[in-house]
Amino acid sequence: MIKLTGVGKTYADGTVAVRELDLDVATGEMVVLVGPSGCGKSTTLKMINRLIEPTAGRIEIDGRDVTSSDPVELRRGIGYVIQQIGLFPHQRIIENAMAVPLLLGESKRTARERAAELLTMVGLDPEQHGHRFPHQLSGGQRQRVGVARALAADPPVLLMDEPFGAVDPIVRVRLQEEFRRLQRDLGKTVVMVTHDIDEAVLMGDRVAVFAEGGRLAQYGTPAELLARP
Ligand code: ADP
Ligand code: ADP
């Protein structure tokens, strides 16, 4: 589904963020990129949806070369969830969740129904939470809205950068488990970045361990990684 071959990224100032990266992600698989801060995880994620251009190698999604795809069309097929999700602060939660369906040309009524469905999917009550504003939700609830919004266009691929990083530890475990169930149910292909090895092992079908200098140190199932010293 997603295939990176010999991918490298050297920023304009000479920083080598990623080098010689080979990575393949199967359809419906959840792959977690883990490693210390600054080792190129976010850069890798952003190259997949072309927020950043690689300086070496090739990235394919479904056999199509990402660097020669139209970025707007490309991102229609890729949901993106980041730690500080930007909800519209002056719009209610239901309106935030309606934004993408409206952009896709749905009628207001259909968009509202779709938004309610999406909020329910991520464990929010459209009646109870839909009429609140973002600042009236907890951090964990806001991240749920972020996931709902990323799923709105029903993209086959989701990219997530520390999606649960700012959420307190107890809520976080619930979100991890619930997200994993949702991901399996919907059959989404996911690449997620974290610096938390426990989260990586809990959530990943496979885990890619990045090392200092943007190199891939290990890539395998949690069982394979735990079996090694
Ligand atoms: P991670 O997600 O693993 O924390 P990043 O991909 O954010 O790592 O960063 C990898 C390296 O690239 C770091 O050394 C970081 O400082 C550097 N870097 C990130 N963005 C830029 C940029 N726009 N220009 C120059 N260097 C950058
Ligand atoms: P968390 O530990 O997940 O960050 P919070 O302590 O922020 O949780 O919030 C706990 C509950 O209070 C949540 O159900 C949230 O919706 C509600 N809440 C938080 N802030 C407000 C607010 N300003 N107005 C109404 N409800 C709020």
**Digit-coded pLDDT (tens) for 109-145:** 999 999 999 999 999 999 999 999 999 999 889 999 9
The ligand that comes nearest to the alpha carbon of residue 43 is 1
Instruction: Give, to the nearest 10 degrees, the angle between helix 139-151 and helix 108-121.
Output: 130
Contact between 192 and 7 (Cβ < 8 Å): no
Q: Rg for the chain (alpha carbons), in Å? A: 18
Q: How far apart are CA 24 and CA 57, in angstroms?
A: 13
Please name the residue whose Cα sits nearest to atom 16 of ligand 1.
Answer: 38
pLDDT at 229: 65
H helices then E strands: how many in the chain?
A: 9, 10
Q: Among 137, 145, 173, which is best to mutate for testing ligand 2, by the most ligand atoms less than 8 A from CB?
A: 137
Residue 76 pLDDT exceeds 70 = yes
- The protein residue whose alpha carbon is closest to atom 10 in ligand 1 is 40
Q: Burial level of 30, CB count in 10 A (0-12/13-18/19+)?
A: buried
Count Cβ atoms within 10 A of the Cβ of residue 4 and give its class: 0-12 exposed, 13-18 middle, 19 or more buried. buried
